[in-house]
Amino acid sequence: MKNSKSSQRLLSSPYIAWAVIFIIVPLCMVFYYGLTDKTGAFTFENIAAIMSAEHAKALWLSLGLSLISTVICFFIAYPLAMILANMNVNQHSFIVLIFILPMWMNFLLRTLAWQTLLEKTGVINNVLSFLHLPSLNIINTPYAIVLGMVYNFLPFMVLPLYNSLVKIDPNVINAAKDLGANNVQTFFKITFPLSIPGIISGITMVFIPALTTFVISNLLGGSKILLIGNVIEESFTQAGNWHLGSGLSIVLMIFIIVNMVASAIFDKDGEGSAL
Amino acid sequence: MKKYLSVFCMSTAVLLSLAGCGTGTSGENGEVVVYNWGEYLDPEVLDIFEEETGIKVIYDEFETNEIMYPKVESGASEYDVICPSDYMIQKMIENDLLAELNFDNMPNAKANIGKQYWEQSQQFDPENKYSVPYCWGTVGILYNKTMVDEPVDSWSILWDEEYKDNILMQDSVRDAFMVALKLNGYSMNSTDVSELETAKNALIEQKPLVQAYVIDQVRDKMIGNEAAIGVIYSGEAIFTQRENPDLEYVIPKEGTNVWIDSWVMTKDSQNKENAEKFIDFMCRPDIALKNFEYITYSTPNDAARDLIEDEDIKNSPVAFVDLSQYSNLETYQYLGEDGDALYNELWKEVKSN
Amino acid sequence: MIRTTAKKIYIALIFVFLYAPIATLMVLSFNASRTRAKWGGFTTKWYFSLFENREIMQALWNTLLIAFISSFIAVIIGTVACIAINNMPKRSRAVLMGVTNIPMLNADIVTGISLMLLFISLGFKFGLGTILLAHITFNIPYVILCVMPRMKQISPSTFEAALDLGASPVRAFFKVVFPDIMPGVLSGFLMAFTMSLDDFIITHFTKGAGVDTLSTKIYTEVKKGIKPEMYALSTIIFITVLLLLFLVNKAPKEKS
């Protein structure tokens, strides 16, 4: 017993060392920058900056848009994941790969391609005008940003949902039906509750990146819509104000902590999000 | 699952073999690390330089002056030669990041760069000790003749309701404020709070009319008839006109920014001799001409301009504008940390409005 | 019958949505005009000039090298960590899993900047090495998340039985545990590889002079207009992977 404990310590030490050096220490540096000003004196100013009109507005807008995107992703992905989960069992990895495959085309290129599709004189509008349909004017609006978010993060919703649905033992569902439950009841009493870990990790994997994105709002929103990600990015790259950028990042981490707590509550066995 | 891994191993193998030809060797005469704007020289020029001098060029690109600065300041990468803009050069001189150049090692620089550009450079490099002009130009309005009927000669057209959703503004603090300050008759280097407030309010007023805030994408969007009017650097004008003859470039009567991007050498450079060789090489007339033809930004290299065969371009009022015709032209100055912070703060207010 | 048709239409729609931009990029790779805004006629010249473009080729090489090495190392560290985490007391396990989630959930820009700060303070020379360290860091969580669930399904008694029967711990691991977690390890590798391939922001802040990956190269080009060679390269990458995927899928199914 003693032997296995020490060998465990041996096994975990490389990762713990790695995590301390490359995750914890850098994080501490962000906290250090966020809690000091240019002279190095301690201050809460950079964190309180979130209350200023522009920052608060950017945060609300980001929260709103990423929430909408997450909800849309969920309602698109859940039926899809159910259909896929009921398909031929031999095809599992194939299905997963089909959703990962678009990611082999660079993220920036894909988002830029949406610009080509959505523009006033873009592909979609050319097709619409050819069919004598009214044109679609969503480029440079929040709608285009939501579309970009849904597009980019949909696979992150589909995959965990699919994984958790595939794991459900068909016998459980059959048993429920044998006991007289109809389809709706089976879904709400069996399928849905069993897929909650997948839902949680799906929501996390969509909501958090959507909350912090700045590329999508730049490319599809015409930089007219300032999201909190843009504010942070600009304070690092354009204004050169690392203290403010770090301070605002600390604020964003609150959402990550909230999320961790939520996962801990719903995912009691700590099974993690199986991708 | 195993077989899918094999897919990715195979793909990687195929792609790696594709890329295999791309690995270089180090030069016999050391190296020089160059940090330049994206797409800002003809890549062939680097090959010629390596061949002629035996110096290996490590080439890196940046998107904005502001992104470049912290990378150089932090010393994370050891750059030798950089190509910042005017006000940024001033900032780098003030913060002691640049080395003085020895012009005895750079005969081409002194001989070929026109006198007026050295004079212009004195606004940010008073004794011409640190920088060698590489490209210059103005900021102006590019408009589509099929969409705009009236004569365009003023920034005020960017506030015209008629072109709602057809206007492209520059997505950079200084350029956006330059337009608004000039429209109101102020200096674009103003740090006067009330002047800046006026400019900010003008920009907020303009925002509903703006289709998008972009940087170099103005080019693609104007070529594709996406918008009627855009604020653009003169260097892009030749290219866009070649692609779409309906486009026309004007310098507004209220005045505008005349900018210069110049080669500088970093203080901590480990390859000073090679750096100077590189800068000098860029000033050679044939090389400057090659670069001009590739990037279409105006060259301050008079000897190169003489080599241009196409008379239209050689005397193009867009590429080689006679600046004496215009009044109120200015070059950006570094405004100090407080000035920068103020501009950024106001710009954020515009953007979030 | 209607149900299955409806399902098929639904899947088809989503595929159109996912692959429409990719089709656009492919079409653009045959565009003779240098700008994406104008169709200048059909050409295949970009596919030839691509191979003469030293920078793009070098970037492709870097990208694949970094993705391969970083995901390989991440898989080793991550899998070993999973074994250890799995046997930990509940509380320390929760803490370590929480830490693991940080790079995945944190804004990329914060991860990138914080790593840059770290490398500067450690006095590292920025280059391939720093990018690798950064990529390994954000790849490990994906590996752990893929391997962990598999690990949980394994009953510890099989491993102990192997030990009782006289196998060394290493041998017991490779004979008993490893085959069971293999699918998780592979999908972890795949996920890590893809993430590394697609990452731009973290690479941007941890890269050194002259070391470009495809992502950072594209980002500099986004502002100036993407070079058509880049579309051509993406098309080649996509087609290569897709073809191999179908080939393997058509090949006789293996037992496992």
Per-residue pLDDT of A53-101, as tens digits, reads 999 999 999 999 999 999 999 999 999 999 888 876 667 777 777 888 8
Quote the CA–CA distance of A216 and A223 in Å, as a whole number: 9
* Domain around A244: 52-266
Mean pLDDT of A130-148: 91
- Which chain A residue has the Cα nearest residue B209? A224
CA B144, B147, B152 angle in degrees (round to 5)?
60
Closest CA to B135 of B345, B25, B283, B15: B283
Are the CB atoms for B1 and C39 separated by under 8 Å?
no
pLDDT for B171 beyond 80: yes
Residue A14 lies in a domain: no
Q: What is the pLDDT of residue C99?
A: 84
Strands B81-82 and B258-266: antiparallel
Specify burial of residue B158 (Cβ count, 10 A radius: 0-12, 13-18, 19+).
buried
- Measured in angstroms, the CA of C180 and the nearest CA of chain A are apart by 15
Q: What is the pLDDT of residues C116-155, one digit of tens each?
A: 888 888 888 888 899 999 999 999 998 988 888 778 777 7
Please tell me whether the interface predicted TM-score (ipTM) of this complex is above 0.90.
no
Residue type, C111: T
User: Mean pLDDT: which of B199-203, B232-236, C122-126 is highest?
Assistant: B199-203
- Which chain B residue has the Cα nearest residue C245? B7
The CATH number of residue A99's host domain is 1.10.3720.10
Quote the CA–CA distance of B232 and B240 in Å, as a whole number: 10
A222 and B CB contact within 8 Å = yes
Lowest mean pLDDT among B63-72, B244-253, B338-347: B63-72
Q: How far is CA C66 from CA C61, C73, C130, C184, in A?
A: 8, 11, 10, 21
Find the DSSP H helices in B74-165: 86-94, 107-112, 115-121
Tokens of C162: 């192997």
Q: What is the pLDDT of residues C179-236, one digit of tens each?
A: 888 888 888 898 899 889 888 889 988 888 778 899 888 887 776 778 888 899 999 9
CB atoms within 10 A of CB A197: 24
Residues of C in contact with A84 (CB under 8 A): 11
Quote the CA–CA distance of C185 and A248 in Å, as a whole number: 36
pLDDT for A3 beyond 60: no
pLDDT for B275 beyond 60: yes
Find the DSSP H helices in B207-233: 217-223
- Residue percentage of chain C with pLDDT more than 90: 27
Q: pLDDT-based confidence at B12, cuts 50/70/90? A: low
Quote the CA–CA distance of A13 and A7 in Å, as a whole number: 10
Are the CB atoms for C19 and A102 separated by under 8 Å?
yes
Closest CA to C227 of C42, C46, C63: C46
Q: Report the sign of the C-alpha dihedral through residues C81, C87, C92, C98, in that order.
A: positive
Fold of the domain spanning B29-136+258-323: D-Maltodextrin-Binding Protein; domain 2 (3.40.190)
Residue A250 lies in a domain: yes
CB contact under 8 A, C38 and B223: yes
- Residue percentage of chain A with pLDDT more than 90: 32
- Which chain A residue has the Cα nearest residue C114? A26
Residue A64 lies in a domain: yes
Tell me the three state secondary structure of residue C104: helix
Tell me the three state secondary structure of residue B33: strand
Residue A197 lies in a domain: yes
The kind and range of the H/E element at B245 are: none
The pTM of the full predicted model, rounded to 2 decimals, is: 0.87
Q: What is the pLDDT of residue A272?
A: 46
Q: List the domains of chain C with CATH numbers.
A: 55-226 (1.10.3720.10)
Quote the CA–CA distance of B94 and C59 in Å, as a whole number: 35
Tell which C residues from 189 to 228 touch B, by Cβ distance under 8 Å.
189-190, 193, 208-212, 219-225
Q: Which CATH class is domain B137-257+327-352?
A: alpha beta
Residue A193 lies in a domain: yes
Residue A22 lies in a domain: no
Residue A143 lies in a domain: yes
CB contact under 8 A, A106 and C100: no
Quote the CA–CA distance of B71 and C126 in Å, as a whole number: 10
Quote the CA–CA distance of C155 and B262 in Å, as a whole number: 67
Number of domains in chain A: 1
Compute φ and ψ for B211, nearest 5 degrees: -75, -45
| CATH 3.40.190.10, chain B: domain bounds | 29-136+258-323, 137-257+327-352
Lowest mean pLDDT among B64-68, B188-192, C237-241: B64-68
B249 compared with B11, residue with greater pLDDT: B249
Mutation target for A interface from B203, B348, B349: give the one with most A CBs within 10 A: B348
Residue A126 lies in a domain: yes
Nearest to B64 among A140, A226, A238 (CB): A238
Q: What is the pLDDT of residue B16?
A: 61
CB contact under 8 A, C51 and B33: no
Tell me the three state secondary structure of residue B321: coil
Are the CB atoms for C111 and C139 separated by under 8 Å?
no
Q: How far is CA A141 from the centre of its chain?
A: 21
Q: pLDDT-based confidence at A197, cuts 50/70/90? A: confident
- Measured in angstroms, the CA of B122 and the nearest CA of chain C are apart by 29
